[in-house]
Amino acid sequence: MRTLLADHPLVTHKLTLLRDAQSDTATFRALADELVTLLAYEATREVRVTEVSVTTPVGTATGAMLAQPKPLIVPVLRAGIGMLGGMTRLLPMASVGFVGMVRDEESLVASTYANRLPADLTGREVFVLDPMLATGGTLVTVISMLADRGAASVTAICLLAAPEGLGRVEQAFPGDGSPAVRVVTGAIDERLNDKGYIIPGLGDAGDRLFGEI
Ligand code: URA
């Protein structure tokens, strides 16, 4: 597993506003959307391309287009939905699958309640959207589901990550095996608290995106 800390000044600026407890739902949603697009730019740096030639008004240029099979984007319900628009803005040709995970607030163990993934992901590049990499349980489960289906690479885009979560993903997917696993995040925070929240973090990402339920 490789980790890319995308600590570009624009990312840090928007993340700082996102963390602010005073930012309301509309502001939070807009900031999350913009942040994902910035992180997606870094996360797609290694996306596969095919060389093509293109006829310009005055000649022929060699260029590159995204290769087939097209990438798959997987937002993790519920909070990952708040990241989908920012990702598809950069990859409008990608298909989208869904995994729904819910965390037991006592045990902090995540269980799957929805799965709309293609049965065969052989050779596919997959981008998982989950704003908070906390204990890492959700991400390890989702990556395992994608690995079982043959994904070639899995890149998780997380607004924030905790050292504990990064450690758990690294333990589950060490080295450069298959699928190649990467985590792209805007910040690595201090720690988790005893409720599994990232400290200092930004609170409950789903509640802040969509309101408390
Ligand atoms: N999920 C969240 O929404 N926030 C955290 O801090 C951890 C997990």
95-133: pLDDT as tens digits: 999 999 988 888 878 899 999 999 999 999 999 999 999
pLDDT over 90 percentage in the chain:
92
pLDDT over 70 percentage in the chain:
100
Question: Tokens 């996102």 identify what position?
Answer: 18
118 CB-side CA count, 13 A: 17
CA of 54 to the centre of ligand 1 (A): 46
Residue 212 has pLDDT above 90, yes or no: no
CATH number for 2-48+66-196 (one of 1.10.490.10, 1.10.10.10, 3.20.20.70, 3.40.50.2020): it is 3.40.50.2020
The answer to whether the CB of 99 is under 6 A from ligand 1 is no
DSSP letter (8 states) at residue 103:
E
The full set of domain ranges for the chain reads 2-48+66-196
> What is the helix (H) or strand (E) element at residue 56, kind and residue range?
strand 49-56
User: Which of 202, 170, 185 is CA-nearest to residue 8?
Assistant: 185
Please give the pLDDT value at position 104: 84
**Arithmetic mean of pLDDT over the chain:** 96
Q: Which residue minimizes the CA distance to atom 4 of ligand 1?
A: 204
Tokens of 184: 């792209």
Residue 213 has pLDDT above 80, yes or no: no
For ligand 1, what atom is nearest to the CA of residue 79?
3
Please give the pLDDT value at position 179: 94
Please give the pLDDT value at position 108: 78
How far is the C-alpha of 63 from the C-alpha of 15, rounded, in Å?
34
What are residue 61's DSSP bridge partners? 54
CA of 41 to the centre of ligand 1 (A): 24
The answer to whether the CB of 190 is under 6 A from ligand 1 is no
The overall pTM is greater than 0.85: yes
For ligand 1, what atom is nearest to the CA of residue 205?
3
CA of 210 to the centre of ligand 1 (A): 14
The answer to whether the CB of 204 is under 6 A from ligand 1 is yes
The answer to whether the CB of 40 is under 6 A from ligand 1 is no
Residue 28: which pLDDT band, with cuts at 50, 70 and 90?
Answer: very high
Please give the pLDDT value at position 211: 86
Q: Strands 95-96, 132-133: parallel, antiparallel or unpaired by DSSP?
A: unpaired
DSSP letter (8 states) at residue 71:
P
Residues 6+ apart with CB under 8 A from 111: 101, 102, 104
Q: Is the dihedral of CA 152, 157, 162, 163 positive or negative?
A: positive
What are residue 77's DSSP bridge partners? 100
Q: Which residue minimizes the CA distance to atom 7 of ligand 1?
A: 197
Please give the pLDDT value at position 110: 85
User: Which of 136, 131, 127 is CA-nearest to residue 181?
Assistant: 127
Q: Which residue minimizes the CA distance to atom 3 of ligand 1?
A: 204
For ligand 1, what atom is nearest to the CA of residue 197?
6
CA of 166 to the centre of ligand 1 (A): 14
Interval 31-76: pLDDT, tens: 999 999 999 999 999 999 999 999 999 999 999 999 999 999 999 9
Residues 6+ apart with CB under 8 A from 151: 72, 121, 124, 125, 126, 179
Question: Which segments of 93-212 does DSSP mark as H helices, in order?
Answer: 137-148, 163-172, 205-210
